[in-house]
Amino acid sequence: MVSILLATYNGEPYISEQLDSLIGQTFKDFVIYICDDQSTDSTLSIIQEYAAQYHKKIFVTQNGRNTGSPKHNFIKMMIEHKDDYIMLCDQDDVWLPDKIEKTLNKTRELETTYGKTTPILVHTDLRVVDERLGHISGSVLKEVLSDCSKTSLNKKIVQNTVTGCTIMYNRALADMIQTEPEYMIMHDWWVLLIASAFGKIGTIYEPTVLYRQHENNEIGAKKKQSLGEYFFYKFSHCTEIAGAIHQTYLQAGSFIIEFDEKLSCEQKELLAIYSSMPTLSRIRRFRTVLKYKIFRHGFVRKFTQFVILLIERRSKSIKCLVNSLEK
């Protein structure tokens, strides 16, 4: 059985098209759990109509109050729902007809190789489209130059390479999601870290989702840029990028707190030193990144990462988190 977790909030313009694409999948043995996050439009009534029509296939609940972010709505469902295979679904995309079938086949293939007790995560590529499903880009993975072959923890703590709406994970991984972490950047990145630390990651280099590009979505939004334009963009947004990198320190610290007893000594050492980066001198930050090979993928990303390490001042903002790790 496959469970699809669909988080909704004010998705009235697109939710029907998404649900139709789910119902039209070539693989039929699945159920859909929808959790609405206190929508103020007609989303709830639309999904309730679908649930009434497909009463054995679609199940709807609504949060008592708005969680403030899709990641909180998703992680809540991920904690509540366990099945042989779990898929995450956004409200405004369209799934290609064989998405479940292809992803499930890849996941089972990895389970055959590594065993069902191994946490497995499989993700695919996306095709970016406009609000009317007109073509924008044939591959998100190519657009963002994402290297999915590097699956070790030292690579994943600094850069996310999956998109939540393409993910399937198995029961072994699902059982490891028991509580909402103290801090996570996004729910899909959190699942990626679990798979990287304790299991295996598989990639299907083929789009299975029409990722709808509109004002609330950023993936694929930027037009192709020359190397010079890309450099200019990165360095004109240094403060924003520094903030994003700082969040990865917090997430790493949260991860070691969450899975302390399951991590190896080497993994604990990596996560502890990385989470304490803001408290280190510039020299020690450089040495840490080089020693543990904590590099972002791509020349420009690496270069920007080292510039941030050079200009970022020592911070005490996560001192309490570091102290808790040392205990």
User: Please, which pLDDT band fits residue 307 given cuts at 50, 70 and 90?
Assistant: confident
Tell me which H or E stretch contains 168.
strand 168-170
Spatial distance between the Cα atoms of 253 and 279, rounded to a whole number of angstroms: 13
Considering the domain architecture, whether residues 113 and 175 belong to the same structural domain is answered as yes
User: Please, which pLDDT band fits residue 142 given cuts at 50, 70 and 90?
Assistant: confident
Spatial distance between the Cα atoms of 94 and 86, rounded to a whole number of angstroms: 18
Structural domain boundaries, residue 13: 2-212
Considering the domain architecture, whether residues 197 and 299 belong to the same structural domain is answered as no
In a domain, 220, yes or no: no
Task: Select from 170, 188, 212 the last residue of a domain.
Answer: 212
Beta strands at 85-89 and 135-137: parallel, antiparallel or unpaired: unpaired
In a domain, 221, yes or no: no
Count of domains forming the chain: 2
* pTM higher than 0.85: yes
In total, the chain counts a number of residues equal to 327
Spatial distance between the Cα atoms of 231 and 15, rounded to a whole number of angstroms: 38
**pLDDT tens-digit map of 258-298:** 999 999 999 999 999 999 999 999 899 989 999 999 988 77
In a domain, 188, yes or no: yes
Please state which of the ranges 31-35, 251-255, 275-279 shows the lowest mean pLDDT: 275-279
Question: What are the beta bridge partners of residue 120?
Answer: 200
Beta strands at 94-95 and 200-212: parallel, antiparallel or unpaired: antiparallel
Considering the domain architecture, whether residues 156 and 279 belong to the same structural domain is answered as no
